[in-house]
């Protein structure tokens, strides 16, 4: 087992996981170092969000281990798992804001749950995080009054409010206008550089992710098929890597879902 001061924060070994008859991971290995921004990428349906749930202990692997900060996640009792999650900030794919709370209280929620800060200090922390994402003036708006991009930025403020050791971003760039996108990209990099936080980004946005990621992992067929810096992946000769990085329709990953012959199906009199 890794020691807590190891340079590896997340260590995944021989990970296998299935849903019903569908095998999502089949012996996946991955190491994420402390202080780096690691991107997890791959075609839709390869289990990227599922991998995040395995890292945080929401799911249990069929085989293999996920080690977080020197502790095997699946072996932790409920109270220890809860304690581990306090050191993880999560930006959910859909934001997951609490609809009955205004923006201020959404961001304050983790602090109220996990700390004993005075109301004065809590207010300072919340307003500082909202200012960082450009939404201090929206503190008393409710989620129903926010645009999709604004809601995503509020969710980011909530994810960073505890200054966690590990920050997980699930599709952080979806629905952002170019200005907001630039702000979020800078924040991800600045948080890592200033606080020594480790970040995991799941994203389909190859270009944007490449501007902040130290290393990227490409997943396909239940395994990591390529990894390296964005610069290394751009010159990788693998057909899969080239297809994904360049967004090509033709390659190892089929664009079309398996179907009967196109011409025969069109000419057939039977309903399909």
Band the pLDDT of 61: cuts 50, 70, 90. very high
For residue 184, give the nearest of 172, 201, 174 by alpha carbon: 172
Count: domains in the chain: 1
In the predicted model, what is the mean pLDDT of residues 98-123? 93
Cα(53)–Cα(33) distance, integer angstroms? 19
DSSP state of 257: P
Q: For residue 39, give its domain range.
A: 1-83+199-272
Helix (H) or strand (E) holding 29, with range, is strand 22-33
CB atoms near residue 272 (< 10 Å): 7
Query: Which pLDDT does position 10 carry in this prediction?
Result: 94
∠ Cα 180 183 184 (to 5°): 90
Determine the longest span between alpha carbons in the chain, in angstroms: 73
Q: Is the pLDDT of residue 222 over 70?
A: yes
- Asked if the structure places residue 18 within a domain, the reply is yes
In the predicted model, what is the mean pLDDT of residues 62-83? 91
- Asked if the structure places residue 117 within a domain, the reply is no
Q: For residues 89 and 164, is the Cβ–Cβ distance under 8 A?
A: yes
Query: Which pLDDT does position 247 carry in this prediction?
Result: 67
Question: Residues 13-31: pLDDT tens digits?
Answer: 999 999 888 889 999 999 9
Cα(142)–Cα(163) distance, integer angstroms? 24
Structure tokens at 40: 């997890």
Dihedral over alpha carbons 196, 163, 172, 22 (to 10 degrees): 90
- Asked if the structure places residue 255 within a domain, the reply is yes
Least confident of 39-43, 64-68, 98-102: 39-43
Cα(240)–Cα(181) distance, integer angstroms? 27
Query: Which pLDDT does position 114 carry in this prediction?
Result: 87
* Rounded (10°) angle between helices 119-132 and 103-114: 130
Q: For residues 112 and 122, is the Cβ–Cβ distance under 8 A?
A: yes
- Asked if the structure places residue 179 within a domain, the reply is no
In the predicted model, what is the mean pLDDT of residues 58-72? 92
- Asked if the structure places residue 223 within a domain, the reply is yes
Cα(127)–Cα(237) distance, integer angstroms? 47
Environment class of residue 258 by beta-carbon count within 10 Å: exposed (0-12), middle (13-18) or buried (19+)?
Answer: exposed
Q: How far is CA 137 from CA 61, 130, 151, 159, in A?
A: 43, 8, 14, 19
CB atoms near residue 77 (< 10 Å): 8
What CATH number should be reported for the domain holding residue 28?
3.40.50.300
Band the pLDDT of 2: cuts 50, 70, 90. very low
- Asked if the structure places residue 57 within a domain, the reply is yes
Question: Residues 246-255: pLDDT tens digits?
Answer: 666 666 665 5
Question: Residues 143-201: pLDDT tens digits?
Answer: 999 887 788 889 889 988 988 899 998 888 877 788 878 878 888 888 888 878 899 99
- Sign of the four-CA dihedral 189, 37, 134, 139: negative
* Rounded (10°) angle between helices 103-114 and 148-160: 20
- Asked if the structure places residue 154 within a domain, the reply is no
Cα 229 from chain centre: 18
- Output the pTM of the full model: 0.80
- Asked if the structure places residue 144 within a domain, the reply is no
Instruction: Tell me which residue has tokens 């939404």.
Output: 135
């Amino acid at each position: 087992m890794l020691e807590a001061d190891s340079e590896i924060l997340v260590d995944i070994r021989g990970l296998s996981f299935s849903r019903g008859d569908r095998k999502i991971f089949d012996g996946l290995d991955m190491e994420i170092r402390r202080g780096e921004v690691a991107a997890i990428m791959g075609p839709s349906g390869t289990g990227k969000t599922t991998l995040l749930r395995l890292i945080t202990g929401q799911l249990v692997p069929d085989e293999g281990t996920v080690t977080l900060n020197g502790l095997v996640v699946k072996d932790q009792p409920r109270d220890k798992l809860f304690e581990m999650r306090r050191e993880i900030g999560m930006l959910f794919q859909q934001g997951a804001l609490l609809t009955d709370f205004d923006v201020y209280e959404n961001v304050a929620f983790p602090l109220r749950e996990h700390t004993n800060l005075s109301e004065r200090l809590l207010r300072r922390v919340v307003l500082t995080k909202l200012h960082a994402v450009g939404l201090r003036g929206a503190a008393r708006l409710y989620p129903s009054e926010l645009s999709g991009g604004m809601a995503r930025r509020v969710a980011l403020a909530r994810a960073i409010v505890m200054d966690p050791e590990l920050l997980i971003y699930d599709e952080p760039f979806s629905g952002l206008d170019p200005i907001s996108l630039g702000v979020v990209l800078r924040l991800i990099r600045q948080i890592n550089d200033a606080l020594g936080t480790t970040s995991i980004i799941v994203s389909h946005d190859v270009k944007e992710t490449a501007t902040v990621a130290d290393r990227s992992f490409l997943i396909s067929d239940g395994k990591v098929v390529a990894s390296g810096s964005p610069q290394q992946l751009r010159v990788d000769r693998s057909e899969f890597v080239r297809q994904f990085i360049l967004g090509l329709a033709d390659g190892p990953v089929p664009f079309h879902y398996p179907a009967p012959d196109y011409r025969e199906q069109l000419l057939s009199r039977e309903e399909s």
